[in-house]
Structure 1
Amino acid sequence: MFDTVLVANRGEIAVRVIRTLRSMGVRSVAVFSDADADARHVREADEAVRIGPAPATESYLSVERLLEAAARTGAQAVHPGYGFLAENAGFARACEEAGLVFIGPPADAIALMGDKIRAKETVRAAGVPVVPGSSGSGLTDEQLAQAAREIGTPVLLKPSAGGGGKGMRLVRDEAVLADEIAAARREARASFGDDTLLVERWIDRPRHIEIQVLADGHGGVVHLGERECSLQRRHQKVIEEAPSVLLDGATRAAMGEAAVQAARSCGYRGAGTVEFIVPGGDPSQYYFMEMNTRLQVEHPVTELVTGLDLVEWQLRVAAGERLGFAQEDVRLTGHAIEARLCAEDPSRGFLPSGGTVLRLREPEGDGVRTDSGLSEGTEVGSLYDPMLSKVIAYGPDRETALRRLRAALAGTVTLGVPTNAGFLRRLLAHPAVVAGELDTGLVEREVDGLVPDEVPAATYAAAALLRQASLAPVGGPGWADPFAAADGWRMGGERAWTAHHLQAAGHDPVTVRVRRAPDGGVELLLPGRDAPVRGSGGTPPRPGDEHRFTFLLDGVAHTFTALPDGTWLGRDGDAWHVRDHDPVAASLNRAAHAGADSLTAPMPGTVTVVKVAVGDEVSAGQSLLVVEAMKMEHVISAPHAGTVAELDVAPGTTVAMDQVLAVIAPTDEGQETT
């Protein structure tokens, strides 16, 4: 076994690998960019080396700097994690040439399976069924369009060099093929440095089933059962579970054997995943999609149902050991489900978010595991992948695992960085998910119901209670002036109501009235309600303190924790912040809205494409700009017909969320239709 291993990654996967290294008594070396100087993986490693400035191309994607770090620290092996250079054959070869062991498959296997076109041809020759699609590499735009027309829409455009949903485009209309091919190439080039595309037949309402394989360097190959990854948004996985409720024993065995053959066909070694697309109505008809030649984000669910540490086995195989078990020794026990916590804002169309983690609460307890790279004070920017952590629940059955995961997400707080925690919790409670009736389009079809338009009444109640408490002087020893207490007391009558005017982004202002009740509690009068809500409150929290508020609304007790900085934490997977604009008003939105003619950045990121210039005439809905963040593209379109009056950015410009990018002066026709 190795004495020292360099972890060539960041965030939660670096922390995860370091955990296993520590348990095995192996010294860990972390690497970090300037943006991650105080990151959790840096603090938890035995040693850490700076490898460059914040941009990934100058740090985590720099083969030269990673190899220098390994040489400086005496590392004998490199674990690439996932993402960045994990599936880069050149990096694997460079490690070997430098005398380092690459903890992953041989470079040739990475290159073969990293090229989706060659991979399909190879596994087809090994008897594995593949999805119908284009053939040949290096197809031009016109050849891709022609292949799509021959297959017949709908079709899926896919980058040959990578996965994770980046650069994938579902095309149902031949008229937009050219635009979609161009966009797919841009995303593929930005994500993988290679814009080669292929086109495949789209299978409506498919299920995404993947098989975990493990191979040693002595000819031993086994599969560790399947994972269901059908809950996806924009072709990116959100929820994964093991095992799948779709498969029976015979189908599981057949798919497992197909995955083993796929691994053997490329001379695989280490941990890898073979992904299949499966028609939901007939799981016996499964098709190979691709092979991921690395550890998967969702590997914890396999670990929980098999009892195996996949990172440990990656290390053992890389060190030359044989697998210590055969296929018949693999047993799947219980059920595990994983949710990916991402820095994104569901209320803004899941656009990437950012900020500083002001308060962090990560779930733990029976059957709950959290893989995280977060700590309080962590700066989440737009340079890297938006995934922050993973929350995983295990139980003796699927129902228990679901219940535990929903509860774990309800108690997850990353205050200061908007996340998808509340959305994930609601998704896990959806009747189709509970019933196991999944497909890759379910989230997109049901998204409106999973992202409520209305601000919950409990949110307004909590904001009003927090503001009411802030009006009271902080108590202390000795005499307190009763006339300084803003509790609504008045001589000879009931206590007066104090009106708090609140407004959330995109919603009309509301007024919540609060007063002290005769028994010392608090009463709230919410909009549209005749009867007051009963609550408990108190003095505002002092620096370093927290204060708990509870109120009863529609028979449900809501408890939240107020913090000194005007924030509070609720048990719904979401956190809120109150900002005072005047003595009687508070705003729940994060930024003021620009004018209707202004185009603003929907997320912090970089402008990659500018299609217009000042003075150009544009039509309503015309694509004008493209902003990229966290390897995702967002197209900025004209809100109405008009003229480009201002253009404040160029390709390469870094922008903040809500920064004005351009202003479109409307034409008379545009004004009438806006």
Structure 2
Amino acid sequence: MFDTVLVANRGEIAVRVIRTLRALGIRSVAIFSDADAGARHVREADTAVRLGPAPATESYLCAERLLEAAARTGAQAVHPGYGFLAENAAFAAACADAGLVFVGPPAAAIELMGDKIRAKETVHAAGVPVVPGSSGSGLSDAELAAAAREIGTPVLLKPSAGGGGKGMRLVRDAALLGEEIAAARREARSSFGDDTLLVERWIDRPRHIEIQVLADGHGNVVHLGERECSLQRRHQKVIEEAPSVLLDDATRAAMGEAAVRAARSCGYRGAGTVEFIVPGKDPSAHYFMEMNTRLQVEHPVTELTATVAGRRGLDLVAWQLRVAAGEELPFTQDDIGFTGHAVEARICAEDPARDFLPTGGTVHLLREVQGAVVRTDSGLSQDAEVGSRYDPMLSKVIAYGPDRAAALRVLRAALAETVTLGVTTNAGFLRRLLAHPDVVSGEIDTGLVEREAAALLPDGVPPEVYAAAAAVRQAALEPSADGGWRDPFGVPSGFRLGGEAAPVRHWLKLPGQEPVAQDVPPGADGAEVTADTVRVTVDGVLHTFHRAGDWLGRDGDSWHVTDHDPVAAALLGAAGGHGADALTAPMPGTVTVVKVAVGEEVRAGQGLLVVEAMKMEHVIAAPHAGTVTALDVAPGATVAMDQVLAVVDPHDEEPSPEGPADDGQEAS
């Protein structure tokens, strides 16, 4: 076994790998960019090496600097985690050339399965069923469009070089193929450095089921059962579970055998995942989609449910390391069984109420659940800075139960107890999703989250949120009780001479909401404010919130409530504030495309700029027809949320279009 292993990743991924290295008595080496100098994975490793500036291309994706870090720290192996360079064949080969063991499959297997076109051809030759689609690599835009029309819409455009849903575009209208192909190529280049695309038949109401495989260097390959990954948003998984309620024993065995054949067809070694698309009405008609030549984010649900020789508690990272060190698997397929049920929820820095736009900020209060039946894999720590440079996933919460109903119940409770104040997350949304009747019954598909997203959002801001925020403001104004004299006119009590006290009122504002004038709850039962909690009674019901500064949280949801000055707002408006004419950044990120110039006339809905954050693009569109009178950014500029990007002065009448208008919708 190795003495020292460099972990070529960051965040919760690196923390997860470091935990196993510590358990095995192996010295861990973390790497970090300037943006992550104080990150949790850096503190938890035995030693750490700075790679470079914040951009991933100058740090985490710089193979030369990673290899230099391994040499400087005496590492014998590199564990790539499950992102960044984990599926980069050139990096795996470079490790071998440098005398380092790459903890993953051979470079040839990564290269083969990383090319979705060759991968489909290879596994099909091995007897694995594949999704009907285009054939051949390097197809032009016209050839892709022709293949899509031949297959018949709806079709799915997919980058050949990548995964994780990046660059995938569902096209239902053949007239939109040209612009959708262009958008898919642009995102594929940004995410993978390769804009090669393929097109596949879209299967309506499909299930996404994957099989975990494990192979050693001695010819042994086993599968560890399936994971149901059908709860997705924009092709990104949000909830995963094991086992799937859809499969019977015969289908499970058939899919497992197909996954093993796929792994053998490319000479696989280590832990990997074979992904299948499955028609919900006919699970026996499963199709190979792709093979992820790495460990998956959702591997914990397999670890919690798979048994080897009757024992539960598999550590897939440990087996990756053992296989990489040359060990032979000491068990066969007959030794593998399954028990209970596990469900995982991915906590991401995104705002469900703003169409899941990426968020960021400082973690002011953190509460993560760990226990006998709950596990949280996280890269967060108190006071951590969450920026827009990297993937939005912050942590994942995994629950285990003797059956599916118990596991869902435990996970919902764990999400309600999860607190990340200072950064808006999707925890509350996921908790409500897990209570959706179709999720509870297991009648799910890959489109369920998109269909039901609006219904899973809170109906406005609960009134107790404003009441709690007003109580916090009031407590901050109260003089400290030091036993000395207190000026009665300095106490914000609403006191009036010769009459009943007036309500104490605070003006409050939440992003995207109108300002609210909120009275402080009166009386002894009104509110109790402590350093990190607020308890407030509204209409006879006691509500408890976590608090940190201007942030309040409850049941996985959070609210950033700020003070509002109506006088200042009125003065700003009178002074000529831009108001609806201004286009602001919907998220912290980087401007990647500027399509217009000052003085240019634009149409309502025309795309003017593109902002990218956390590997996601957002088109900034003109709110109305008019003239661009201000443009405050250029390509490559870093912008803050709500920063003014441009101003469009309106026209009385819309000009005639000279070409096709952008749809102004989100590009990814």
Tell me whether the two structures share a fold, i.e. TM-score over 0.5.
Answer: yes
1:648 is matched with 632
Amino acid corresponding to residue 654 of structure 1 in structure 2: T
- Aligned counterpart, 1:278: 278
Equivalent residues of 1:112, 1:118 under 8 A apart: yes
Tell me the alpha carbon deviations over residues 336-370 of structure 1, each in whole angstroms, 9 at most, x when there is no partner.
11111111111211111111112211112331111
- Cα distance in 1 for residues equivalent to 2:105 and 2:539: 57
- Counterpart code for 1:550: R
Partner residue, 1:509: 515
Match of residue 443 from structure 1: 449
Q: Conserved in 2, the CA contact under 8 Å of 1:157 and 1:169? A: yes
Following superposition, the deviation at residue 494 of structure 1 comes to 5.2
Report how far residue 138 of structure 1 moved: 0.3
Structure 2 residue 544 is the aligned partner of structure 1 residue 559: yes
Q: Distance in 2 between matches of 1:561 and 1:612?
A: 45
Q: Distance in 2 between matches of 1:120 and 1:594?
A: 53
Alpha carbons 1:472, 1:485 under 8 Å: kept:
yes
Aligned twin of 2:621: 637
**Matched residue type, 1:177:** L
Structure 2 residue 330 is the aligned partner of structure 1 residue 345: no
C-alpha distance in structure 1 between counterparts of 2:560 and 2:111, whole Å: 48
Q: Quote the offset at 1:58 in angstroms.
A: 0.8
* CA shift in 2, pair 1:648/1:483, >3 Å: closer
Aligned to 1:427: 433
Structure 2 gaps of 5+ residues are 307-312, 570-576, 656-668
Aligned twin of 2:557: 574
Q: Distance in 2 between matches of 1:602 and 1:237?
A: 23
2:535 corresponds in structure 1 to: 550
CA distance in 1, matches of 2:603, 2:564: 37
Partner SS, residue 579 of structure 2: coil
**Segment drifting more, 173-182 vs 482-491:** 482-491
- The 2-side partners of 1:489 and 1:87 are apart by 68
Give the secondary-structure state (helix, strand or coil) at the position aligned to 2:511. coil
Aligned to 2:7: 7
CA contact (8 A) 2:509 2:563 kept: no
Q: Distance in 1 between matches of 2:595 and 2:300?
A: 44
Residue of 321, 324, 337 corresponding to 1:331: 337
Which residue is 2:49 aligned to? 49
User: 1:650: Cα distance to partner?
Assistant: 2.5
Secondary structure of the corresponding residue to residue 576 of structure 1: strand
Structure 1 gaps of 5+ residues are: 523-535, 587-592
Q: Secondary structure at the match of 1:477?
A: coil
Question: What is the deviation of 1:552?
Answer: 4.2
Is the partner of 2:295 in helix, strand or coil? coil
Q: Secondary structure at the match of 1:5?
A: strand
Q: 1:558 to 1:617 in 2, by over 3 A?
A: same
| Structure 1 position 228, deviation (Å) | 0.5
CA RMSD of aligned residues (A): 2.1
Report SS of the residue matched to 2:263.
Answer: helix
Give the corresponding residue for 2:267: 267
2: distance between equivalents of 1:499 and 1:51?
52
> Letter of the aligned partner of 2:221 in structure 1?
V
Query: Which is worse superposed, 456-465 or 203-212?
Result: 456-465
Indicate the SS of the match to 1:549.
strand
Offset, 1:152:
0.6
Amino acid at match of 2:626: G
Could you tell me how far 1:490 is from its partner in structure 2?
5.9
Query: What secondary structure does 1:560 align onto?
Result: strand
Greater CA drift, 197-206 or 507-516: 507-516
Describe how 1:591-610 pairs up with structure 2 within 5 A.
Answer: 595-610=579-594
Is the 8 Å Cα contact of residues 488 and 515 (structure 1) preserved in structure 2?
no
Residue in 2 aligned with 1:355?
A: 361
Please give the alpha-carbon distance, in whole angstroms, between the structure 2 residues aligned to 1:186 and 1:123: 28
Q: What is the deviation of 1:488?
A: 4.1
Residues 294-318 of structure 1, C-alpha deviations (whole Å, 9 max, x = no match): 0100011111112210000000000
Q: 1:387 maps to what in 2?
A: 393
Which range moved further: 154-163 or 489-498? 489-498
Tell me the residue number matched to 2:39: 39
Return the offset for 1:480.
Answer: 4.4
Name the counterpart of 1:521. 525
Query: By how many angstroms is 1:658 displaced?
Result: 1.6
2:61 paired residue number: 61
Matched, 1:537 2:528: yes
Cα contact 1:500–1:584 (8 A) shared by 2: no
Kindly state the Cα deviation for residue 428 of structure 1 after the two structures are TM-superposed: 1.0
CA distance in 1, matches of 2:639, 2:518: 36
Q: Which amino acid aligns with 1:428?
A: L
Does the aligned pair in 2 maintain the 1:391–1:409 contact within 8 Å? yes
Distance 2:402 2:183 in 1: 45
C-alpha distance in 2, partners of 1:88/1:554? 58
**Quick one: distance in 2 between partners of 1:504 and 1:629?**
22
In structure 2, what residue type is equivalent to 1:107?
Answer: A
User: Distance in 2 between the 1:173 and 1:424 partners?
Assistant: 31
Tell me if the contact between 2:525 and 2:537 (Cα under 8 Å) persists in the aligned partners: no
Give the drift of 1:482: 5.2
Contact 1:644–1:664 (8 Å) recurs in 2:
yes
Per-residue deviation, 1:474: 1.8
C-alpha distance in structure 2 between counterparts of 1:312 and 1:131, whole Å = 34
Percent identical across equivalent pairs? 78
Change beyond 3 A, Cα 1:508–1:31: closer
Secondary structure at 1:281's aligned position in 2? Answer: coil
SS at match of 1:500: strand
Do the aligned partners of 1:154 and 1:202 also contact (CA within 8 Å) in 2? yes
Q: Distance in 1 between matches of 2:515 and 2:32?
A: 45
**Contact 1:502 1:509 survives alignment (8 Å):** yes
C-alpha separation in 1, matches of 2:499 and 2:612? 60
Instruction: Determine the structure 2 residue equivalent to 1:120.
Output: 120
SS in 2 for 1:627: strand
Which residue, out of 478, 482, 502, partners 1:476?
482
Deviates more, 1:490-499 or 1:269-278: 490-499
Q: Distance in 2 between matches of 1:329 and 1:458?
A: 54
Q: What is the number of residues matched between the two proteins?
A: 644
> What is the CA-CA distance between 1:660 and the residue it aligns to?
1.8
Distance 1:127 1:436, change over 3 A: same
Corresponding residue for residue 159 of structure 2? 159
Q: Tell me, yes or no, if the aligned pair for 1:301 and 1:392 is still in contact at 8 Å.
A: yes
1:613 matched to which residue of 2? Answer: 597
Which residue does 1:413 correspond to in 2? 419
Alpha-carbon distance in 2 for matches of 1:600, 1:491: 47
- How far apart, CA to CA, are the structure 2 residues paired with 1:389 and 1:457? 30
Question: What's 1:183 paired with?
Answer: 183
- Residue in structure 2 matched with residue 91 of structure 1 by the alignment: 91
Indicate conservation of the 8 Å contact 2:521/2:536, yes or no.
no
Task: Using structure 1 for the length normalisation, give the TM-score.
Answer: 0.92
Separation in structure 2 between the aligned mates of residue 491 and residue 664 of structure 1, nearest angstrom:
52
**What is the one-letter code of the residue matched to 1:353?**
T
The answer to whether structure 1 residue 628 and structure 2 residue 632 are counterparts is no
Distance in 1, Cα, partners of 2:521 & 2:96: 71
